[in-house]
Amino acid sequence: MSERPSPTNARKRSRTASTPHDTASRDRSTPSRKPTAHGSLYDFFKLATSAKPANDANNPTTVPNNNNTNNRHGAAVTTTATRAPAGKVMPLSPSKTLESLRCQIQELERAVRDKDDQLRAVSNNRTLLQGSLQNALTQCRNELSKLRTAKTEHEEASRLVLEGLVRKQAQHAATALRAQLAADGARLGRIVTTHTALRLTEKWEDGYAIRELAARRTALADTHVTLQARADAAEAAAAAPDQSSPLAVAEALESVRWHRQTARQAEATLAADERALRDAQAAHVRALKRVASEDDSKFVGRPKLHDRYVLESLLGKGGFSEVWQAYDLVALRPVAVKIHQLDSRWSAAKKDNFTKHVAREYRIHRNVRHPRIVSLFDVFEIDNDAIATVLEVCDGADLDALLKLQRRLPERDARAILLQILSGMMYLSHPSEDGSHQGIIHYDLKPANILFDQNGDAKITDFGLSKIIDSLDETEASMELTSQGAGTYWYLPPECFVTDENVRISNRVDVWSIGVIFYQMLFGKRPFGDGQSQDRILTDNTMLNAHSVEFPDQPVVSSQSKDFIRACLTYDQSSRPTIAELCQKPYVVSRTF
């Protein structure tokens, strides 16, 4: 058996077997590689052949041939390096190491090509998927467009049907109202038109109910005369006891007393019937005037305005405006449409001024949103001579009609309405925190501008004369008065009638108006100028002389309510409270009233 060489001798033979000449010849025999896209990776592995692996000194290092190529004897080629005892690593065979690295590079290049092929396949699939999705999206858009078209057509058809139903119902209600007025005319009275030489005159003719009440009153008057005669006879009999018995005298006197009491009860009943008849007659007259105004209106055909508002019935008319109840076909709600009409005979300048006035009212009112203020929804132009604003509709009457019906209100009821008015005015007089609206002076507060909704709650309306205050400080918020003569005189304070000097006004104007309204609710009349015309108030300087307010003895009201009214009707506006100060009055904030 031959002696096995020691590892040290083997390493020496290995070193002596690989001479620089052989290494150079091997390097020359290795074909040169052309630069590739992975040249940097190849150079990295080529450089790694000179690195010394830091393997464990006690274990040999085996580098497999990743190309799985066999040597000439069919055995797998491996390169083994053995560490020296001192921790030094014996170098691997350069040729085999380089070949192994080449194989690894080829594998990496093959993997990169496979990944490129996969990416191209994914890209192609993505293109196909994008095309499919685009086609599906286009189809969905077409279907959505068709659905929108169908929806629009359906909505238009529905609106046409709804418009027809609304108009038909309005015409039916108008016909029924006219028939009812005609029937009530015989009972309550009617307006009779008579022809004179050159003109038509209208005359009121009472109905049979008035004549019946007049006959009842005449009968009661005759009864009083008869009873008085019987009483005189009984007194005469009592003065001559020898001519009649005491029983007869007592019976006669007691009978007269009893019949007089019955007559007084009949008179009370008659008075109540007369008040009810007068109220019914007043409502009948208002309805007749409203129907006559509706028949004379250019919108009597109940057209659809702004392609959404179908007019139903006239609510009121005044000056150059009409207020119609209408139905909103888009929002599906009843609304009030106020139509401002320009006179075709006006000059262009006057028309322009009127249009600016309406636009100004819209700018003031559009951002106001409060439960105690009528909301403004829309504004649009009907034609060259008409502009419309769309408002929240209030199904109830206004405070003016209520006071005409009841004349005065119990203090508790009047205070409830007062608090609702103050709530709305507190909101109006202060700028909003979000800057949506500035402080506002209403300037035309009066019972006719206090409406009641279907729940009976009060709402403030009509901002035609309102003014905007820029200052955020209420105590300093004022502006110069430039509209002397405008407004309703009974409800304006003295400073609004000063003409010989520049006057600045604030929301204390509205405080005065609130005091007048509250006084009227309690006592059934205005504190200043009641029964006078506006011209008479102006010529007599009634408001300029309104230095103090007086209260009638009846009805009896609380002293706190009188103090509140006195504060509101303070002559000097600098001493008059502001809206905010008024809302802090004990009469307002007390919950034990």
Cis peptide bond N-terminal to 527, omega within 30:
no
Q: What's the half-sphere exposure (Cβ side, CA atoms, 13 Å) at 134?
A: 6
**What span, in angstroms and rounded, lies between the C-alpha atoms of 564 and 583?**
10
To which residue do tokens 């009972």 refer? 187
> At residue 24, what are phi and psi to the nearest 5 degrees?
-65, -40
Strands 376-383 and 467-469, sheet pairing: unpaired
**Distance set, CA 135 to CA 126, 132, 142, 401 (Å):** 14, 5, 10, 67
Q: Which string of b and e fits 78-117 if b means at least 16 CB within 10 Å?
A: ebebebeeeeebbbbbebebbbbbbbbbeeeeeeeeeeee
Beta bridge partners of 467: 441
How would you list the strands of the sheet with 321-328, edge to edge? 304-305, 309-318, 321-328, 333-341, 386-392, 376-383
Q: What's the half-sphere exposure (Cβ side, CA atoms, 13 Å) at 193?
A: 3
Q: Which long-range contacts (CB under 8 A, 24 or more apart) does 228-236 make?
A: 230/255, 230/256, 230/259, 231/256
Give the active site residues: 444
* Residue length of the chain: 593
To which residue do tokens 């009984």 refer? 234
**What span, in angstroms and rounded, lies between the C-alpha atoms of 237 and 251?**
11
To which residue do tokens 């190529």 refer? 69
Beta bridge partners of 341: 386
List strand residue ranges (DSSP E) for 65-103, in order.
78-81
Strand, coil or helix: 79: strand
